[in-house]
Amino acid sequence: MMNFIRISARNLLRNKMRTALTILGASVAIIAFVMLRTTLSAWSVAADYAAKDRIATRHKVSFVITVPKNYVDQIRGVPGIKSATYAIWFGGKNPKKPEQFFATMAWDVPSMLEVYNELVLPPDQKQAFLADKQGAIIGDVLARQLGLKVGDRFTLQGSIYPGDWPLNISGIYSAASKAVDRSSLFFHYSYVNDSLPPDRQDQVGWIASRIDDAGRGPAISAAIDQMFDVKDIQTATMSERAMNLSFMGMISSLLKALDVISIIILFIMLMILGNTIAMGVRERTREYGVLRAIGFQPSSIAWFVIGEAAVTGFVSGLVGLALSYPIVELGLGRALEENQGSWFPYFRIDIKTYAMGMVLAMVLALAASILPARSAFRLQVTDALRRLA
Amino acid sequence: MSTESPIVSLKEIRKTFFRGKEPVSVLDGLSLNIAAGSFEALMGPSGSGKSTLLNLIAGLDRPTAGTAIVAGENIGKMSDGDLAKFRSRNIGFIFQAYNLMPVLTAQENVELPLLLHNLSGAERKKRAQTALRVVGLEDRSHHYPRQLSGGQEQRVAIARAIVNDPTIIVADEPTGDLDRKSADEILNLMDRLNKEFKKTILMVTHDPAAAERAAVTHKLDKGQLK
């Protein structure tokens, strides 16, 4: 069957090298777009997968300011709270490789294992962790990177809490949820707290609570904050998702920059496609003149151009997405999950990103064809026929 | 040759182009009748207005003044869209440079004008094969233009021109790019289309040998018939 799309597709094969380079260029833009969108979504994955029945309480001003530990017991007494735990951000480093970032937090371990029940830890390792004040558990991804196994000794170098902090690796955890970072290190709050001078003791960074009804999260949060409104130190209680997003707020400028870059990439793609389509129209002016002469309407000629752009966009989208899968899912994604798990616990292409990539490839190709299609539409037959091929 | 009322009737046709702001008169009060079923040639020096006249008759352009009745329709007043429909119904084109679409086979090139009509794929194919048989190229239907000689390409172009069963065939220097032998084959074919299929043919040519095939030769100079 011969139709506009088929002729448009054939026209694309006329200059195979140029078409291949155009499709490759546009595909690279699609790959870059997919990578950036995946980076953005990977950063927010912890927020997206946050437990709906968990809320977090922090200092009203910022999560970098601590609140008194005794707030935990008061929160446990608020109706609707099933259990509560607390932690401080330790900010430790591996002294052998100080440039490597991974999250280190000191938790009240018994309550933490209750509130964060998506941490998967063998029972014997859990018991060992509970029993040992210097015990630590480490995510399986980080364990592989650091070459640590259960029973090893590992020394953390403190920055917020200076000094060397020897730890016993009691267990290696994995996760039942995509939100859990598998490249973190957790150890006992009491280990840090007991080592601090009295004036710095019994302070916590945030309090995480399980609630009995996810739908009552806002009301319970309000009740907690109201309780501390009359105190010297007020709190801000929010859903776990909001808490995670507030962490991300620190890098919001970077995220915005990535967003802008992804738009710039799309404009580059638009220009690549527009240039190729315009060249094609110029070269085929005489043929369009012939088509007009034998009775094709100006709109039909414009449709030839648009059809060619649509085929280019479709193929570019397909190629770009087909190449994105191995690059992002099998290559870059795995590497980032393994090596930068704190930032990218789950670096996979979202189905929405695939759909967006395909739709954008088509929409941009069609947008790129508007001006060339307009000039093809306006061709005067006699002028077009006079034009040398 | 038919003696019926003319299929082309031009009265006091003027065509003026503008070079910048300066008007250039190409056709200057030209009148011409062409009888249905005739084979007529237009000759004249370069710039005499041959191609402009052919374009007006074929509905590719409109006169600045005068009346142009072709196949019973006043084409001087038609919109671009109506002119396109008029051409698809009434005109078959043969160009000097063949102007086949290089990405389509001979068969597909011949089918092109039929895309404008509500025909099934099978019907298009049948008509295109018939047209290719008339020009003696049914065995080359799946060849691309680059796989054909110049003479064969022009025969495919002729098949494309006749596939719609047009009222008039206009040919602009149809043998201009061909050697003598191929040119004679094309002229024989056009002669056959005129005599056997009763097609009205109007041909612009510089070639006296080609013009000899026409029953009537009009000589044009400075926008006027001599």
Q: Which domain CATH number covers B47?
A: 3.40.50.300
Q: Are residues A84 and A228 in the same domain?
A: yes
Q: Are residues A313 and A380 in the same domain?
A: yes
CA–CA gap between residue A345 and residue A339 (Å, rounded): 10
Q: Are residues A206 and A268 in the same domain?
A: no
Q: Are residues A368 and A314 in the same domain?
A: yes
ipTM of the complex: 0.90
Contact B102 A14 (CB under 8 A): yes
CA–CA gap between residue B171 and residue A117 (Å, rounded): 85
**What is the per-residue pLDDT for B2?**
45
In a domain, B131, yes or no: yes
- Range A350-364 average pLDDT: 91
Q: Closest residue of B to A11, CA-based?
A: B103
Phi, psi (5° rounding) for residue B38?
-90, 165
Tell me, what amino acid is at B137? L
- Range A255-269 average pLDDT: 84
In a domain, B1, yes or no: no
Best A1, A2, A4 residue to mutate vs chain B (most B CBs within 10 Å): A2
Residue range B48-89, pLDDT digits in tens: 999 899 999 999 999 999 999 999 999 988 998 899 999 999
Q: Are residues A177 and A118 in the same domain?
A: yes
A1 pLDDT higher than 50: no
Contact A297 B81 (CB under 8 A): yes
Tell me, what amino acid is at A197? P
To the nearest whole number, what is the mean pLDDT of chain A? 88
What is chain A's alpha carbon radius of gyration, rounded to the nearest angstrom? 29
What are the angstrom distances between the C-alpha of B48 and each of A121, B42, B193, B194?
95, 10, 28, 26
Domain range for B206: 6-225
Residue range A117-152, pLDDT digits in tens: 889 999 999 999 999 999 999 999 889 888 999 999
Give A-chain residues touching B115 at CB under 8 angstroms: 2-3
Q: How many domains does chain A have?
A: 2
With residue B109 as reference, give the H or E element that holds it. helix B106-111
In a domain, B50, yes or no: yes
In a domain, B162, yes or no: yes
Edge-first strand listing for the sheet containing B6-19 = B22-35, B6-19, B65-70, B73-74
In a domain, B37, yes or no: yes
Give A-chain residues touching B61 at CB under 8 angstroms: 381-382
For residue A337, name the pLDDT band (cuts at 50, 70, 90): confident
With residue B224 as reference, give the H or E element that holds it. strand B224-225
Token pair 């267990």 is found at: A171
Residue range A80-114, pLDDT digits in tens: 999 999 999 999 999 888 888 888 999 999 999 99
Q: Are residues A93 and A226 in the same domain?
A: yes
Give B-chain residues touching A13 at CB under 8 angstroms: 103
- What is the pTM (predicted TM-score) of this model? 0.69
Q: Which two tokens stand for residue B136?
A: 């003696």
A3 pLDDT higher than 80: no
**What is the per-residue pLDDT for A272?**
86
Residue range A66-80, pLDDT digits in tens: 999 999 999 999 999
- Range B116-139 average pLDDT: 93
In a domain, A242, yes or no: no
Q: Are residues A197 and A269 in the same domain?
A: no
DSSP state of A95: T
Q: Which two tokens stand for residue A236?
A: 């801000």
Tell me, what amino acid is at B87? R
Q: Are residues A281 and A311 in the same domain?
A: yes
Q: Which two tokens stand for residue B123?
A: 């019907």
Contact A293 B58 (CB under 8 A): yes
Q: Note whether A158 contacts B: Cβ–Cβ < 8 A.
A: no
In a domain, A245, yes or no: no
In a domain, A244, yes or no: no
Domain range for A198: 61-233
CA–CA gap between residue A265 and residue A350 (Å, rounded): 19
CB burial of A182-192 (b: ≥16 within 10 Å; e: otherwise) equals bbbbbbbbebb
Q: Are residues A184 and A206 in the same domain?
A: yes
Q: Are residues A180 and A203 in the same domain?
A: yes
In a domain, A145, yes or no: yes
Q: Are residues A310 and A357 in the same domain?
A: yes
CA–CA gap between residue A223 and residue A70 (Å, rounded): 17
* Angstroms from A22 CA to nearest CA on chain B: 19
Q: How many domains does chain B have?
A: 1
Give yes or no for a contact between B93 and B60, defined as CB atoms under 8 angstroms apart: no
Give A-chain residues touching B55 at CB under 8 angstroms: 382
Q: Are residues A43 and A65 in the same domain?
A: no
Quick one: B118 exposed, middle or buried, by C-beta within 10 A (0-12, 13-18, 19+)?
exposed
